[in-house]
Structure 1
Amino acid sequence: MGINRDKPDLWKNDIIQSVDLYNAWFMKFAPRAFRETRVSTAKSVEHALAITNYLQNISPKVLEINPQILPILRMSTCPPIARDRLVGLAGVSKSLVENMEDNDNPRVSPRMGKAQLMNELKKISDIIKKMADPDIFVWLNENRDPNEVEIARSATIVADRLCGAVADPIIRNAQEKRQLAAIASFLKERGYSEADTGVKFNEMQAGTFAFRRNVPVRLTEDVENTINIPIDVLILPKTAKNGSLPIMIEAKSAGDFTNVNKRRKEEATKMQQLRNTYGQNVSYNLFLCGYFDTGYLGYEAAEGIDWIWEHRISDLEQLGI
């Protein structure tokens, strides 16, 4: 017997309640999440300005040593330059720009020859200097150093541009943190504890839970051909044996109905991979908040995927928790 997937008569009312919960959270907390990110981003912008002597020294050498400042420099122009547009304007390697803007490991292309690298970085530098926004960086045309007020003002403007370009991920990350916190609170109230960092999914102790752990799945019958898939929440019920396969939950939120149906195949693919690897009885579920319509729910139900609504978090108990 399912939790919600086999109760379509409840879906319409649950969708309304889920949308209301998401909207209430968004109105109250999303602006704060955006502001907090803007403040930290502004500090990064100020650091980038200092590195470039407030855009008066955007040399190839500076870019080579500090590749992470490139996204900030792109947002410092008039108009702001998209990543692919910079590649076209400067006539440089796309991989160079992508490497410099890699969130996890910003770097210049390691295999590019030194002469070519310096040449391409100079092209990027020339474009940034030529298009630097004179209304933001008022000291450039006056050929002087900026004062503290001008630095703070320009950093905030560029931070706004950067945050505006990634507004959806900022909101999504804040919502995911809130969802995981709700699950943690629910579990701790029932005597569960969080597993130690580094504990693998198949090493968990009964009565523990873990966030954001990798679970290996087979891509083919060949046991060597495996990949790791990330799972948001793993829970090993108190009644389970130590080291048993835990309950798996994906935290999902959505601020509109449009994008959810583009993403629904991701969960179906994960479910199939998990079943192929661990059998048909694997417990893989969704934790939903926001705009999930009947089309999305029907698709997931057909794939054998069940879900818990955040507005009725007590349904987690039906997983045997």
Structure 2
Amino acid sequence: MTANRDKPDRWKQDITLSVDMYNDWFIHFAPEVYRSTRIQTVKDVEKTFKATNNLTNIGIDLLKAKPSALPSLRMSTSPPLAVDRLIGLAGVSSNLVRTMEKHNRLPMRMAQHELDSELKKVSHIIKKMTDPDVFVWLERGDDPSEQELYRAATIVADRLCGTVANPIIRNAQEKRQLAKIDEWLTASGYKHLPTGEATQYDKLQPGTYLFRLNIPVTQGKSSKTVFISIDVVVMPKIAKDGELPLFIEAKSAGDFTNVNKRRKEEAMKVNQLRRTYGHNVRYILFLCGYFDSGYLGYEAAEGIDWVWEHRINDFKNVGL
């Protein structure tokens, strides 16, 4: 039983409907996320300004005392620096920069002399590239006015907001998709098993499902076992003894570029499942957003089927 992978004649229309659905959700949801994120981000940037004496003191001691300032400092340069670009320009350890960015702290095992040397390089790049059109008081050599400080803080905050808001939007979209699946399965007579009630894919009873289940698979040509997370695992009501459940992955995208970078992830995951459990594995994508014919063709060639969120009843066509 297939839902959409063998129906290329309707892919174009489905792509259009899916893009429209995502855009409608984004227009109604994103402004609220952006506003709340921007307010908090401006406050964080202002704290960085205060800690650095309005960017006149960006030295080793400051970076040690306030590693969380690094994202604001990266966005204070001209042009703003991505994490990888800062690492490359400064010629420093990626572990140092990523630890400061993700965990707001310094690496625990880095020797003191090495840490000082690396932070000095980071400080040098940021001071050298600080945006003179934003921080106009630096060239003047005097104190900024309140208006200049606020203007600079909002500019830096706006630069940060794209990277800060996007993960929030992705997480919200994923929760919404899972809620839609939950609603559909419940309405179709399936029982949701809370976390902890069932932990093994092969112990599910027909007509039950759960979220976020780790499935053991064999990695590569070795016999090493690793676990991969599946968004939704459903045992069809008509399942026979020994039958595998249906594995569902929720996928959303706000542009066409990123999906073609990610399409190999699904192929890798399904191949691990097939290598471990055989070709009877049923792996379905639940799609909403910008998935073009190139992406769909790639997944279809890998034997992966999908259900569009705008036509969620297609789950009936895959045995649910």
Alignment partner, residue 196 of structure 1: 195
Is the CA contact (8 Å cut-off) linking 1:195 and 1:208 kept in structure 2?
no
Cα shift readout 1:244-295 (whole Å, capped 9, x = no counterpart)? 8542111122344444344322212211110111222222100112233334
1:56 and 1:310, CA in 2 relative to 1: closer, same or farther beyond 3 A? same
Aligned residues: 317
Is the CA contact (8 Å cut-off) linking 1:201 and 1:246 kept in structure 2?
no
Alignment partner, residue 25 of structure 1: 25
1:205 and 1:74, CA in 2 relative to 1: closer, same or farther beyond 3 A? farther
Alignment partner, residue 275 of structure 1: 274
1:13 and 1:120, CA in 2 relative to 1: closer, same or farther beyond 3 A? closer
Structure 2 residue identity aligned to 1:78: S
Match of 2:117 among 119, 144, 148: 119
Is residue 83 of structure 1 aligned with residue 90 of structure 2?
no
Corresponding residue SS for 1:286: strand
1:88 and 1:220, CA in 2 relative to 1: closer, same or farther beyond 3 A? closer
Corresponding residue SS for 2:42: helix
Greater mean deviation of Cα atoms: 274-283 or 2-11: 2-11
Structure 1 gap ranges (5+): none
Taking the aligned partners of 1:48 and 1:139, their CA distance within structure 2 comes to: 16
1:100 and 1:277, CA in 2 relative to 1: closer, same or farther beyond 3 A? same
Once the 2 structures are TM-superposed, how far is the Cα of residue 161 of structure 1 from its aligned partner?
Answer: 0.5
Query: What TM-score, normalized by structure 1, do the two folds share?
Result: 0.80
Alignment partner, residue 180 of structure 1: 178
Taking the aligned partners of 1:151 and 1:212, their CA distance within structure 2 comes to: 45
Taking the aligned partners of 2:5 and 2:216, their CA distance within structure 1 comes to: 26
Once the 2 structures are TM-superposed, how far is the Cα of residue 320 of structure 1 from its aligned partner?
Answer: 4.0
Is residue 299 of structure 1 aligned with residue 290 of structure 2?
no
Once the 2 structures are TM-superposed, how far is the Cα of residue 111 of structure 1 from its aligned partner?
Answer: 3.9
Is the CA contact (8 Å cut-off) linking 1:201 and 1:234 kept in structure 2?
no
Structure 2 residue identity aligned to 1:118: D
1:81 and 1:297, CA in 2 relative to 1: closer, same or farther beyond 3 A? closer
Structure 2 residue identity aligned to 1:293: D
1:228 and 1:53, CA in 2 relative to 1: closer, same or farther beyond 3 A? farther
Once the 2 structures are TM-superposed, how far is the Cα of residue 243 of structure 1 from its aligned partner?
Answer: 11
Alignment partner, residue 316 of structure 1: 315
Greater mean deviation of Cα atoms: 73-82 or 132-141: 132-141
1:298 and 1:58, CA in 2 relative to 1: closer, same or farther beyond 3 A? closer
Greater mean deviation of Cα atoms: 87-96 or 289-298: 87-96
Taking the aligned partners of 1:97 and 1:81, their CA distance within structure 2 comes to: 12
Taking the aligned partners of 1:315 and 1:297, their CA distance within structure 2 comes to: 16
Is residue 227 of structure 1 aligned with residue 230 of structure 2?
no
Match of 1:164 among 150, 162, 165: 162
Taking the aligned partners of 1:214 and 1:282, their CA distance within structure 2 comes to: 15
Is the CA contact (8 Å cut-off) linking 1:15 and 1:293 kept in structure 2?
yes
Alignment partner, residue 68 of structure 2: 68
Taking the aligned partners of 1:316 and 1:198, their CA distance within structure 2 comes to: 24
Q: Percent identity?
A: 59
Taking the aligned partners of 1:130 and 1:9, their CA distance within structure 2 comes to: 56
5 Å-filtered alignment, 1:43-58, equals: 43-58=43-58
Structure 2 gap ranges (5+): none
Structure 1 residue identity aligned to 2:271: Q
Greater mean deviation of Cα atoms: 2-11 or 187-196: 187-196
Taking the aligned partners of 1:209 and 1:157, their CA distance within structure 2 comes to: 47
Taking the aligned partners of 1:244 and 1:55, their CA distance within structure 2 comes to: 63
Is residue 215 of structure 1 aligned with residue 230 of structure 2?
no
5 Å-filtered alignment, 1:257-276, equals: 257-276=256-275
Structure 2 residue identity aligned to 1:314: N
Is the CA contact (8 Å cut-off) linking 1:204 and 1:242 kept in structure 2?
no
Query: What TM-score, normalized by structure 2, do the two folds share?
Result: 0.80
Taking the aligned partners of 2:235 and 2:52, their CA distance within structure 1 comes to: 52
Cα shift readout 1:216-252 (whole Å, capped 9, x = no counterpart)? 21014654x0222232222344566999854211112
Corresponding residue SS for 1:215: strand
Structure 1 residue identity aligned to 2:52: T
Once the 2 structures are TM-superposed, how far is the Cα of residue 67 of structure 1 from its aligned partner?
Answer: 2.2
Is the CA contact (8 Å cut-off) linking 1:54 and 1:146 kept in structure 2?
no
